[in-house]
Structure 1
């Protein structure tokens, strides 16, 4: 097992960012809810306590037994985590006179301390808290302050336990990455050997030991995750991996044929299945997003199970589950809430009788892409934007019909093709079109029209946990809008979505 940093989540919106920053240092880390602390094995080199929307002054504030690691492992408390450590040691934590949110500058800095080594006086840090640590016990030492926060950072004098009131994980903190490097590398002593090459070697060896000579079946989607999962397992067991690519009638225009061809050129053992009619039948009349997702999931399992049974002695089902899927699907009080059901998380129907293997479940999306590049997977697949498991069904608001799918496929094709032609595709993390249930008045030639409104959505992101809308050029949007209205029968108005995540999600359903 690689050495790792344990991140305990108290519900902060920034917890995943802490993990991303640690991973960028080539150090493996895991996020766990504060109320499900795993066993502290020898490979755990340090612990980070996240922020929280809660207050330590609340009667039922989230807390843990700190004695299990304080003084035994290096510990870094961030915001709420810092307040919790201080509070448990008798510090005075009070409501801030003014809620401190935004940029601040370090006005005092003990940069002789290992945590703050190479940080500079006046460095910008990001504050986001409603409480302040006012007084600290004698065995605490203040090591950084801002003009308004005296205890911006502290250290327990007799151990490698630190607390910081600001957020080093957000890009607004100028030297946040240096601080995290100091903690993870210089204080915890991590070697920084978590690389894509190391991950591939370790994962292939683990898969060979886990699977042996058994047969594995995997549902390919044309996306990055399932493709990288397939190539990893293919490296481990070769032709014992059986891939199934299902056309659910909700893919992008011509995607089934082009992706199936590219998979065969990758040497994968893959079978294409046309199941459009079954999916359209199951979706008929459904308008609720969750009902649509569940119907698609149910039919996919039925089709997939039927195909899997045609392969003798299959023992395993492989899935392209990635780390954000796992994090977002954990539902415990406080740290995580299930936003929407994930089609590839949460178990299988008993009748499938297959064991599950998920080789990517510890990786973020950009790490999956890096592994794919190291495996020499074609750039057209590795660089492909994320695409939702339920496909165009959750980009068609309301009920699904083949006619609506055809309209959206044409609109989407024009949008994506123009992004590629204009050199903008790789600047965007995810893009697509949404067919709304809204009709609007328009004029085409001398005729009055009453047709559909489509919305274009393009976002920038690192891993999809947060996202900002892409500032695409007006001229580009104008050209795309004109082409859609001129070429796609049934559409007379195009709008552009300028919402960020949060508070909006990337998809509309």
Structure 2
């Protein structure tokens, strides 16, 4: 049994085939966190972004086979710096710390991090001392993007330096097994071979197969919705935007006509938008079209304050949706479409 497969067992030791091998990206406030996720998925590996205070137990429950710690604007020695549960770094997961993530690994595991005195922002030449593992297939000298004010001054016990720059003697570190830290940012385009560094971590260190696709996600999501909803009925407020449209489409694939979508035309949409929504989704979903334009415009008559308008529109939308939801009849569940950063 491979290491990733072993991490996909339940606590009772039974296989959990419904779980996909997942890379967890712990978010420390980096502007590049979403970009890290994109790079992982471009490598055909499934990943999710988690808050930095997620527990090791939760990651194990979610089928995580590797962890990436993002960069971030904080300094690890600050009193209010975001931390990590130490168990995540005890070797049970392969870990790649990027910038702040490397600093956090070093500090938690017994090393030392200190301010460098002057921030480094821009390209640097990384001299690779150990070509295997994270740097498999790369040359001895690679360009990389730096953006940091702190640096690792002393490595934690059991770690050794695997790369340096003219300015930094500890530009990358490894425990020789499955834990790595890099001072540079492999996720940005200014690190020309950064994608290879990430793939080496995903494939060689974590053992990912690289066989995930968005199509696979759709199939898995529909199957999970089917299991979760069972024989219940659901209702969804469909606006025609991406969020609710994706949610409604996935749920409809799972339960068919047991999903009712309510589209409320507030009279505040763009020209012809209401007709386009009905034409697009009417033939594909069980759609209730509510022409409430007169109702909304009447409530807004004489109101000029933007915040007051927003409040009125929101309240009226809820009241209108509730009225038509009651007319639908037997409904057990509400489908809520939202975007990924809202979840985070």
In which range does the TM-score fall when normalised by the shorter chain?
A: 0.7 to 0.9
Residue 178 to residue 238, structure 1, CA distance change in 2 (3 Å): same
Q: Is the 8 A contact 2:107 2:156 kept in 1?
A: no
Of 145, 151, 161, 2:170 maps to 151
| TM-aligned CA deviation for residue 3 of structure 1 | 1.1
| TM-aligned CA deviation for residue 50 of structure 1 | 1.6
Residue 192 to residue 276, structure 1, CA distance change in 2 (3 Å): same
Q: TM-score, normalised by structure 2?
A: 0.86
Deviations 1:267-325 (A, max 9, x none): 32112111223333455535355x55443332221111111110111111112223122
Please give the residue correspondences for 1:73-112 in structure 2 after superposition, counting only pairs within 5 Å: 73-106=93-126, 108-112=127-131
| TM-aligned CA deviation for residue 119 of structure 1 | 2.3
| TM-aligned CA deviation for residue 239 of structure 1 | 1.4
| TM-aligned CA deviation for residue 143 of structure 1 | 0.9
| TM-aligned CA deviation for residue 138 of structure 1 | 5.6
Q: 1:313: which partner in 2?
A: 330
Q: Is the 8 A contact 2:74 2:81 kept in 1?
A: yes
Stretches of structure 2 lacking an aligned partner (at least 5 in a row) = 1-18
CA distance in 2, matches of 1:181, 1:171: 15
Aligned: 1:45 with 2:45: no
Of 218, 236, 248, 1:218 maps to 236
CA distance in 2, matches of 1:86, 1:104: 22
Q: Is the 8 A contact 1:144 1:152 kept in 2?
A: yes
Residue 102 to residue 262, structure 1, CA distance change in 2 (3 Å): same
CA distance in 2, matches of 1:244, 1:255: 15
Of 72, 79, 86, 1:59 maps to 79
Q: Is the 8 A contact 1:111 1:118 kept in 2?
A: no
Q: TM-score, normalised by structure 1?
A: 0.60
Aligned: 1:264 with 2:282: yes
CA distance in 1, matches of 2:204, 2:290: 53
| TM-aligned CA deviation for residue 123 of structure 1 | 2.4
Stretches of structure 1 lacking an aligned partner (at least 5 in a row) = 328-509
SS in 2 for 1:41: helix
Deviations 1:310-341 (A, max 9, x none): 011111111222312212xxxxxxxxxxxxxx
Please give the residue correspondences for 1:72-471 in structure 2 after superposition, counting only pairs within 5 Å: 72-106=92-126, 108-137=127-156, 139-157=158-176, 159-265=177-283, 267-283=284-300, 285=303, 287-289=305-307, 292-327=309-344
CA distance in 2, matches of 1:62, 1:313: 46
Q: Is the 8 A contact 2:22 2:45 kept in 1?
A: yes
CA distance in 1, matches of 2:47, 2:337: 20
CA distance in 2, matches of 1:316, 1:286: 37
| TM-aligned CA deviation for residue 213 of structure 1 | 2.4
- Could you say which structure has the greater relative contact order, defined with CA pairs below 8 angstroms and 6 or more residues apart? 2
CA distance in 2, matches of 1:93, 1:147: 18
SS in 2 for 1:72: coil
Mean alpha-carbon deviation: is it higher for 81-90 or for 183-192?
81-90
Deviations 1:332-369 (A, max 9, x none): xxxxxxxxxxxxxxxxxxxxxxxxxxxxxxxxxxxxxx
Q: Is the 8 A contact 2:122 2:147 kept in 1?
A: yes
Deviations 1:93-135 (A, max 9, x none): 22113201122221x1135221111223442211111111223
Q: Is the 8 A contact 1:141 1:154 kept in 2?
A: yes
Residue 88 to residue 216, structure 1, CA distance change in 2 (3 Å): closer
Residue 262 to residue 40, structure 1, CA distance change in 2 (3 Å): closer
| TM-aligned CA deviation for residue 197 of structure 1 | 2.5
RMSD over aligned Cα atoms? 2.1
Q: Is the 8 A contact 1:47 1:73 kept in 2?
A: yes
